[in-house]
Amino acid sequence: MAQKTVLIVDDVAFVRKTLADILREAHYQVIGEASDGHEAVELYARLKPDVVTMDIVMPKMSGIEAARKILKDAPDANIVIISAMGQENLVTEAIHVGAKDYIVKPFSAKDVLKSLERVFQGDEKRPSKPGRTPREERAS
């Protein structure tokens, strides 16, 4: 089975490194890192990762806005939002936009891996019906 690819998006370098270490240890392939929403949108379009870990609050463009732009072009994108405690309203908005799961900071390796596991198990449970786009599939 091929390694799942990940794009890590966070404006804090230490958080990106921590996530990268956790994911590599668990045999995910980190194929890109971005420090703001604009970079995230550009890198997603170029790299097409299996999943994006997306910080919710970043300068220039928020994780919610970046998720909205990514999902507009790639409705089946897997985005996991990362938020600090106390940002429940933002997490709710991100899930409404189309994020598949969320992780709350401070997080443990177990939190991160469980979230990605849920995302990929969800993919297996949601086979597309022939002739329907993922957007139509979600609407049904």
| Domains of the chain in sequence order | 5-139 (3.40.50.2300)
pLDDT at 122: 82
pLDDT at 140: 39
Give the C-alpha separation, 105 to 73, whole Å: 28
Neighbours of 49 (CB within 10 A): 22
Per-residue pLDDT of the chain (140 residues; tens, 9 = 90+): 679 999 999 999 999 999 999 999 999 999 999 999 999 999 999 999 999 999 999 989 999 999 999 999 999 999 999 998 888 899 999 999 999 999 999 999 999 999 999 999 987 665 443 333 333 333 43
The first and second tokens of residue 63, run together, are 């994780």
Per-residue confidence (pLDDT) for residue 2, from 0 to 100: 79
pLDDT, residue 1, reads: 62
Res 123: pLDDT: 73
Strand partners, 105: 84
Residue 125 pLDDT:
60
SS (H, E, C) 105-117: ECCCHHHHHHHHH
Query: Structure pTM?
Result: 0.86
